[in-house]
Amino acid sequence: MLLRRLIAKPPQSVERDTVLVAGADGLAPIQVQRVRDPRARRIRLSVDERGARLTLPVRASLSAGERFLELHRPWLLEQLARSAVPASVQPLQPGVTTTLPLRGQELPLHWQPGRYTRLELAGDGIHLQWPQRASAAMLARALREFYEAQGRADIGRWMPGHLAGLPRVPGRIRFKVMSSQWGSLSADGAMALDLSLILARPRAFEYVLVHELCHLAQANHSAAFWHEVQCRFPDWRAERAYFHDQGRRLKAQLRALLQD
């Protein structure tokens, strides 16, 4: 029995718990999700719009993970600060929320009573019509539908100018709330785009669209693929840098608004 325990395979399920890391300048400790993953081959620290995550291979010790965290604490604090959502960003609250992000700007939000929950873009900002009985879920759903409609309008303007020379067109395009990606293209040509792109500046959104369209010609990230991107969108490096600086904040901002 002892020999069997010694040679038994390590557990194959993912195990999760939480570890605390000292905050910056005496601020509250930071919660880091610690994940022991059988698929992991090395200790890895990552940050996305949901927070920090420490991934450990099955055979890595907890103390090794803690040393890794302490070694990379300055990097962790920098990344969390970069992705922090402004305190003013909250789920939609009737009569309280005064602006909404759209296309790299904060637009005035005008609340008005009505029979149905509906958002419309006007010259003086965004108008939100809502009945008194509207729930938070109804408001969040209406906001999501509004953002999707705005995103589809942008795609409708941009895409025709980028299709020349491609072997085919996307089968369909849909918006999702993505954790880390900005877009993806399946083998059948279906495209998925992150909904938070509509919060970004328009050129950044257009770059992601072009990036995914280029995968119709080159289903990889080879030199040939980047040549395709360069020919169709010469300023792609500037927009990639924009996402590096602002990406996590945009994703976190959308999740806060949609209560996702």
> By percentage, how much of the chain surpasses pLDDT 70?
92
CATH topology of domain 134-258: Zincin-like (3.30.2010)
- Alpha-helical runs (H) found in 94-220: 136-158, 202-214
Higher pLDDT residue, 220 or 13? 220
Higher pLDDT residue, 48 or 218? 218
What pLDDT score was predicted for residue 180? 82
Average pLDDT taken over every residue of the chain: 89
CA distance 218 to 221: 8
Question: What six digits make up the tokens of 120?
Answer: 């419309």
Give mean pLDDT, residues 204-222: 96
Classify strands 51-56 and 30-36 as parallel, antiparallel or unpaired.
parallel
pLDDT at 258 over 50: yes
What pLDDT score was predicted for residue 29? 86
Amino acid found at 130: W
What pLDDT score was predicted for residue 166? 94
What pLDDT score was predicted for residue 144? 96
Residue with token string 């009569």: 95
What is residue 127's three-state secondary structure? strand
HSE-up of residue 123 (Cα within 13 Å, Cβ side): 0
pLDDT at 8 over 50: no
> By percentage, how much of the chain surpasses pLDDT 90?
62
What pLDDT score was predicted for residue 82? 72
What pLDDT score was predicted for residue 30? 84
pLDDT at 164 over 90: yes
pLDDT at 52 over 90: no
Q: Which of 17-21, 116-120, 131-135, 210-214 has the highest mean pLDDT?
A: 210-214
What pLDDT score was predicted for residue 146? 97
| CA torsion, ordered 187, 192, 194, 199, to nearest 10 deg | 130
What pLDDT score was predicted for residue 5? 47
Residues 6+ apart with CB under 8 A from 177: 194, 195, 196, 254, 255, 258, 260
List the chain domain ranges. 15-83, 134-258
HSE-up of residue 251 (Cα within 13 Å, Cβ side): 23
Give mean pLDDT, residues 17-37: 85
pLDDT at 10 over 80: no
Question: What six digits make up the tokens of 175?
Answer: 């918006």
pLDDT at 89 over 80: no
Which of 24-28, 55-59, 219-223 is the least confident region? 24-28
Higher pLDDT residue, 188 or 47? 188
Please give the model's pTM, rounded to 2 decimal places: 0.75
Which of 88-92, 117-121, 143-147, 198-202 is the least confident region? 88-92
- Taking the CA atoms of 6, 45, 193 and 165 in sequence, report the sign of the dihedral they define: negative
